[in-house]
Amino acid sequence: MGEPLRVVLVGWGAIGRTAARLVAESDGAVEIVGVAVRSPDIERNDIPATAVLLFHPGELAALEPDVVAEAASRESVASWGRAALALGADLIVSSVSAFADPGLLTDLRQVASEHGSTIQIQPGALAGVDALAAGRQLGLDAVEHRIVKPPNAWKGTPADLPGVLDALTEPTVLLDATAAETAARFPKNANVAMTTALAGVGPDATRVVLVADPAATSNRHELRASGAFGELDVRIDNAPLPDNPKSSAMAALALARSITNRSAAVAI
């Protein structure tokens, strides 16, 4: 048996905590050696016993991580990502909305190339991303990502106009635009929009449709694509995380899988 995979988690919200628990319960040889958080003023007694708290990317080097897994915010991707990749550690990104700035992805890709590290975009709450990325190799003709949520789930977004959401009686399209425009106008949906875009035909060619449906009881993602490979039509209805109803359970599950696959004898 070799040394366990040394992992630092950036972020200790519901997704990070759930992923850490799932990793600990897995059969993989993974050790959470650090948890990076924003504020030193909040007491955190529930981090893994093997981990130390980090507050600045400069503290990463002392832990010699193999993987840095981000589950914090789009703002954290740049600083923690550069520090991780420069150390030769691989970076797993959950806050894909950070790459709505194409310059950041170019920058991090250059750092990764110089230091022999890898950037992995984990699929989060989506299904079918692996097939979409595989199909891209033969060429894609069209990609559409439809996001369907109950009207209340659109509260606090640009669609939350006085009296509009509460009055809906049938499915209503709130936005039909490119992934790039969606990320700019509806930043709370930017993660999934950018993930689909980067896996497929890019932010300016990916069509995203946002729908408020009074009959919906969960957040639904419908991914459709066509190309030389054939046709893709995938739907996933996401249950929320018990610790945070605003986050999908699948986002934490996908992050845990991305981490454990790094040390698994068989990865799928």
Q: What local confidence, expressed as pLDDT, does residue 266 receive? A: 86
Greater confidence (40 vs 140) lies with 140
Q: Please name the residues in contact with 19: beta carbons below 8 A apart, sequence gap of 6 or more.
A: 9, 69, 71, 252, 255, 256, 259
pLDDT, mean of residues 178-188: 91
Q: What is the CATH number of the domain that holds 71?
A: 3.40.50.720
First and final CA of the chain: distance in angstroms?
21
User: pLDDT tens, 3-18?
Assistant: 899 999 999 999 999 9
Residue at 110: amino acid letter: Q
| pLDDT of 1 over the 90 cut | no
Same domain, 9 and 103: yes
Q: Does the pLDDT of residue 67 top 80, yes or no? A: yes
How high does pLDDT run on average in the chain? 94
Tokens of 231: 């046709």
| Residue 130: exposure state from Cβ atoms within 10 A (0-12, 13-18, ≥19) | exposed
Show the domain range for 86: 5-121
Would 25 be classed as within a structural domain? yes
Tell me the pLDDT tens digit for each residue of 99-147.
Answer: 998 899 999 999 999 999 999 999 999 999 999 999 999 999 999 999 9
Q: Flag whether 243 is in a domain.
A: no
Residue 213 located in a structural domain: yes
CATH number at residue 190: 3.30.360.10
Domain termination site, one of 91, 121, 151? 121
Per-residue pLDDT of 213-237, as tens digits, reads 999 999 999 999 999 999 999 999 9
Q: Which residues have a catalytic role annotated?
A: 221
Number of folded domains that form the chain: 2
Whether 28 has a pLDDT exceeding 80, the answer reads no
Q: Is residue 261 a part of any domain in this protein?
A: no
64 pLDDT exceeds 60? Answer: yes
- What pLDDT shows up at residue 118? 97
Mean pLDDT, residues 260-267: 89
The identity of residue 96, as a single letter, is: V
Contacts of 112 by beta carbon, 8 Å cutoff, 6+ apart: 85, 91, 118, 119
Instruction: Report the DSSP pairing between strands 240-241 and 244-248.
Output: antiparallel
Question: What is the identity of the amino acid at 57?
Answer: P
**Same domain for 203 and 108:** no
